[in-house]
Structure 1
Amino acid sequence: MSLLDHFRPPLSERRHWHAFHNSWATYLSSQLNARLPEGYFAEANVQFGIEIDVAAFADGPPVGPGWVPPAPRESVPVTMGGPVVEIGIFSRSGGPTLAGAVELVSPANKDRPASREAFVSKCAAYLQAGIGLVIVDVVTERTADLHGELMARLGTTPPPGASLYATAYRPVDRDGAATLDVWHEALTVGRPMPTLPLWLRGGLCLPVELQATYDRTCSEQRLTPPAA
């Protein structure tokens, strides 16, 4: 099924967007878990009003790549930040280490400047820590360009804005220079969605199958396109 507008009538009057995003995050994590090797797992973290994401964790050492992604749309020099001084509190029993994340943008993320700042800061922190990231924005009721704001935060010129998009980011060191590989795809209501690469810290790369998981979510929720 092609991308629907979940945030405006008639569909917004028939279904709750947050229920759909909740299920989509679950099926995205299921799709990633089916491909992740031993020692990794993905889990959905849904906190409405704050964030919706899918994270991939590593329990052991990284393994070689198993999926060949397309070439990035661009590779840009970025400012990855300087030294960090902080206090970390960890359980002595150990715990998972974040290796990659998929963020499904919610209306609250694009609302006030403070909300956009919080979202961009979190994503920038992921990339500065070498964590691969995918951002998916299908929110039609607000027009803020979080991808553009993130690129500006990282010290590079933002591309022309797109109201809906899916973007993958891979922070990588090339010859001692911090570089960000970017796969940026504009999304359109009524058109299918792409498969994007999720680069995990350590070099493993997985496909994030947006269309397949979206189709599954629509099927499980008995969602059909609104009548014209």
Structure 2
Amino acid sequence: MPLRDHFRPPLADKRRWDVLHGQWPAMIVQRLFPLLPERFYAGPSVHLSHSFEVDIGAMDEGDAEPSDSSAYQDSGGGVAVQARPTVTPAPTLTVETEWPDQEEYEVRIYDEDRGGRLVAAVEIVSPANKDRPESRKAFVAKCAAMLQQDVCVSIVDVVTVKQFNLYAELMELLDRTDPALKPEPPSVYAVTLRGRKRPKKKSQLDVWFYPLVIGQPLPALPLWLDANLSVMLDLEGSYEDACRVLRIA
């Protein structure tokens, strides 16, 4: 079955896009389970960003009074002495800030033989990852940090309503280019990246990049679990599993 456009009518009028994004990671894990050697395990993760406010009025400096138990300490000789308050210097700068929203729809694969070390991650892009420059920078920085730690990273982007390519921005951060992104980077794509450290040589970055097309099947992606060990993720199969469970025609 072909890739659908989950962000525009008529499908967007029948099913919310986040229904697919919430189900897809579980279907990926199900597909990976029989492929992973016993020492590896995969788990889905969905984290939704949200704004919240905390009322800290009651914690103002003038409102907080130390209790008797906190104001006095045992000196060690059986005599209670009053504790000296700690004087904290004033901050050198105080500014208002707004943290970028970070939604995560992902699958993470761990290696039990290496203490549960993260070895691979499949990141399914959401609109919130692409809607603002700071959100795109945060997503790209996260992927770059994982690659630097020898974690294989796959990015799956089926968001058709935000014309940005996070893989292209990741390559820009690394000061590298991919001829497949010219003349214009596609807005929907799937890509796997893995870093390879080499003794006494510069590290290398291997890339498997596939532009996606609405109405066409999705590719299989290699997931590297170790330097010489990989499995193939049937992206099309996991996508169709999710659509079938959610009754998306």
The AA in structure 1 aligned to 2:43 is E
In structure 2, the partner of 1:170 is 194
How many Å separate the matches in 1 of 2:232 and 2:126? 22
Q: Which one of the candidate residues 102, 105, 109 is aligned to 1:56?
A: 109
Query: Sequence identity of aligned pairs in percent?
Result: 42
Which protein, 1 or 2, shows the higher relative CO under an 8 Å CA cutoff with sep ≥ 6?
1
Deviations 1:50-76 (A, max 9, x none): 111100001015xxxxxxxxxxxxxxx
User: How many residue pairs get matched?
Assistant: 191
- Residue 140 of structure 2 aligns with an amino acid whose one-letter code is V
Question: Which entry has the higher C-alpha Rg, 1 or 2?
Answer: 2
Q: Does 1:34 align with 2:34?
A: yes
User: 1:17 maps to which residue?
Assistant: 17
Deviation of 1:200 (Å): 2.0
Matched with 2:124 is 104
Q: What is the match of residue 87 of structure 2?
A: none
For 2:142 and 2:197, the matched residues in 1 are separated by 21
After TM superposition, the structure 1 = structure 2 runs for residues 138-149 of structure 1, keeping only pairs within 5 Å, are 138-149=158-169
Q: TM-score, normalised by structure 2?
A: 0.74
Please identify runs of 4+ aligned residues in structure 1 that moved more than 4 A.
none
Displacement after TM superposition at 1:174 (Å): 4.3
* 1:48 to 1:35, Cα distance in 2 relative to 1, 3 A: same
Aligned to 2:65: none
One-letter amino acid of the counterpart of residue 211, structure 1: E
The Cα RMSD (Å) is 1.4
Alpha-carbon offset, residue 202 of structure 1: 4.4
| 2:147 equivalent to 1:127 | yes
2:60 corresponds to which residue?
Answer: none
Equivalent-residue separation in structure 2 for 1:23 and 1:142 (angstroms): 21
Equivalence for 1:88: none
Q: Give the partner amino acid of 1:167.
A: V
Unaligned runs of 5+ in 1: 62-94
Shift of 1:201: 3.9
CA–CA separation in structure 2 for the residues paired with 1:11 and 1:54: 25
> What is the deviation of 1:173?
2.7
For normalisation by structure 1, the TM-score amounts to: 0.80
Indicate yes or no: 2:175 matched with 1:155. Answer: yes
Runs (5+) with no aligned partner, structure 2: 50-102
CA distance in 2, matches of 1:157, 1:100: 23
